[in-house]
Chains A and B, each alone.
Chain A
Amino acid sequence: MAYSNKVIDHYEHPRNVGSLDKGDASVGTGIVGAPACGDVMKLQIKVENGVITDAKFKTYGCGSAIASSSLVTEWVKGMSVDQAMQIKNSQIAEELSLPPVKIHCSVLAEDAIKAAIRDFQQKQGAPGSEGESKH
């Protein structure tokens, strides 16, 4: 199995591994996936004045899943919540050159960032937080 150089780079040098305080009102936490499926992603964002100032992840999954979540944490830092909400799995898959059997890893990463944003918005009591599930 051939991984792209970008997947290998994220796998060997993952960005932003770690955890933020999930009790903090400015932190949103998204946990998606299931052990039964072989991948679970936890993605956390810290939001200050509508801007994502920090992001952390932990992922149980294959190299492509680790790379997808690592990449997303890099991307969202500095984005507004609305911008982060627009991230599409196809962008992640394209950036990492994921093969068709690994597209679900990018879908999971998109779901994770959306789940983290929704969690943050619920904490803020903001409207429009119901969101839609992809699965």
Chain B
Amino acid sequence: MTDTKRPIYLDYAATCPVDTRVLEAMLPYFTDRYGNAASRTHVFGWQAEEAVEAARREIATSLNADPKEITFTSGATESNNLAIKGVVEYLAEAGKKHIVTAVTEHKAVLDTCKHLERHGCEVTYLPVAVDGRVTPEQVAAALRPDTAIVSLMFANNETGVLHPITEIGAACRAAGVLFHTDAVQAFGKIPVDVEAMNIDLASLSAHKLYGPKGVGALYIRRRKPRVRIAPQIHGGGHERGTRSGTLNVPGIVGFGYAAKVAREELASESARVFELREHLRRRLVTEIPHAIVNGSLEHRLPGTLNISFAYVEGESLLMGLKDIAVSSGSACTSASLEPSYVLRAMGLDDELAHSSLRITIGRFTTREELDFVADLIGREVARLRDMSPLWEMVQEGIDLRTIEWTPH
């Protein structure tokens, strides 16, 4: 524990604190400028609408898009649902019922696809290579005359690995197939340009870039090509009928301000975060034997590190790391006892998939914190290896794959 009683927060991929600058921008819209953005008859409504449109412009600018192409939602899960279900429903009349995605997508995409499979769609789940990526060639080969949409995430939430988005977008564009990307982890951390990258739909979330929880957006391209989607939430016709429901004005204001701050500081902040992550990574892989970074190091978000410490189980390691807040790739707390499906899809051995930590660095992380973390992880891994029968066998020169285990 450093100077505070709370653990060091290194789980920025899960969520971020709201930046105080963002909070200050939001506050008047709770108590003073509390109008309904849909109220056209008085100044309260006009103020709220103006604030929403200003936020829409900030987000559009960050994406190199037009403000009319931004639809506000409750978050990225809703955006992913709206993008995929909305496109598939709209194109169903044209007989298009095939979806292409990848096995490492977020559950908000995978479960949406599974739902659509039960309703007559066919889904191709592309495998990933050991580096966690799919290739544009894989995508092109999966496309069919009846493919409605390709949905592939910009950056993976567990590993931070980046797909070749520009090339995948180009392959989709060449085939006349819509391309959706879940850009939640990337937006505000690395450049996301819907024009240069051939993106037709993109899901965004405010709380991953120091904005509030409960607000997100879907970018929907309006020209070349014009993307049409069937609304999934019906009501008063808000957001040009694409997504009904009273707008979360303070949340949207915060989202817009968070996007502006992230855009203005992107170059310097991504360089700072990258340098911090590399400092931590170098220390871990040089000081701890059998510490293995999962997924492509070259094609990765600056602040994300997914690392396995072989022969140490992830949950027990987390228990020893109670002074830091990180995620484990292992889902041992669930009844299923399945290690991360993302790491398994990358072909990791079970003992490595069970041993992974996801460490994500953000705006408020310091080098001193990371030095404390590197020391702590080194100590705990050594302690747990001393009581690991797998480590003992490996030290004795036994190949674990030759052992007949007794799965239970």
Contacts of A101 in B (CB 8 A): 333-335
Question: Would B319 and A107 count as touching, CB distance under 8 A?
Answer: no
- Within 8 Å by CB of A107, from B334, B337, B391, B408, lies B408
Contacts of A127 in B (CB 8 A): none
Question: Counting CB contacts under 8 A, is B316 at the interface?
Answer: yes
**Most A CB within 10 A of own CB, among B313, B314, B330:** B313
Question: Counting CB contacts under 8 A, is B315 at the interface?
Answer: yes
A108 vs B389: C-alpha distance in the bound complex, in angstroms? 14
A65 vs B193: C-alpha distance in the bound complex, in angstroms? 48
Question: Counting CB contacts under 8 A, is A75 at the interface?
Answer: no
Question: Counting CB contacts under 8 A, is A37 at the interface?
Answer: yes
Question: Would B390 and A60 count as touching, CB distance under 8 A?
Answer: yes
- Within 8 Å by CB of B407, from A17, A36, A63, A134, lies A36
Given known A17-B386, A59-B388, contact A39–B319 (CB-CB < 8 A): no
Contacts of A58 in B (CB 8 A): 387-389, 392
**Most B CB within 10 A of own CB, among A34, A57, A65:** A34
Question: Counting CB contacts under 8 A, is B350 at the interface?
Answer: yes
Contact string, A99-113, partner B, CB cutoff 8 A, digits 1/0? 011001001100100
Question: Would B312 and A38 count as touching, CB distance under 8 A?
Answer: no
Contacts of B337 in A (CB 8 A): 37-38, 104
Question: Counting CB contacts under 8 A, is B351 at the interface?
Answer: yes
Question: Counting CB contacts under 8 A, is B129 at the interface?
Answer: no
Beta-carbon nearest neighbor of A12 in chain B: B320
Q: Which of B370-401 contact A (CB under 8 A)?
A: 386-392, 400
Question: Counting CB contacts under 8 A, is A1 at the interface?
Answer: yes
Beta-carbon nearest neighbor of A42 in chain B: B389
- Interface residue tally of chain A, by bracket? 35 or more
Beta-carbon nearest neighbor of A14 in chain B: B387
Question: Counting CB contacts under 8 A, is A41 at the interface?
Answer: yes
Interface residues of B, CB < 8 Å — how many?
A: 31
Distance to closest chain B CB from A20 (angstroms): 12
Question: Counting CB contacts under 8 A, is B4 at the interface?
Answer: no
Contact string, A102-133, partner B, CB cutoff 8 A, digits 1/0? 00100110010000000000000000000001
Question: Counting CB contacts under 8 A, is B180 at the interface?
Answer: no
Q: Which of A39-74 contact B (CB under 8 A)?
A: 39-42, 57-63, 65-66
Question: Would B408 and A60 count as touching, CB distance under 8 A?
Answer: no
A61 vs B354: C-alpha distance in the bound complex, in angstroms? 9
Question: Counting CB contacts under 8 A, is A35 at the interface?
Answer: yes
A60 vs B408: C-alpha distance in the bound complex, in angstroms? 14
Beta-carbon nearest neighbor of B319 in chain A: A63
Question: Would A36 and B315 count as touching, CB distance under 8 A?
Answer: no
A111 vs B407: C-alpha distance in the bound complex, in angstroms? 12
Beta-carbon nearest neighbor of A107 in chain B: B408
Question: Would B408 and A108 count as touching, CB distance under 8 A?
Answer: yes
Contact string, B318-362, partner A, CB cutoff 8 A, digits 1/0? 011000000000101111010100000000011100100000000
Contacts of B319 in A (CB 8 A): 3, 8, 11, 62-63
Give 12 A-B contacts (CB < 8 Å), ordered by A residue.
A3-B319, A32-B408, A35-B350, A36-B350, A38-B332, A59-B389, A60-B311, A60-B389, A61-B316, A62-B316, A65-B313, A101-B334
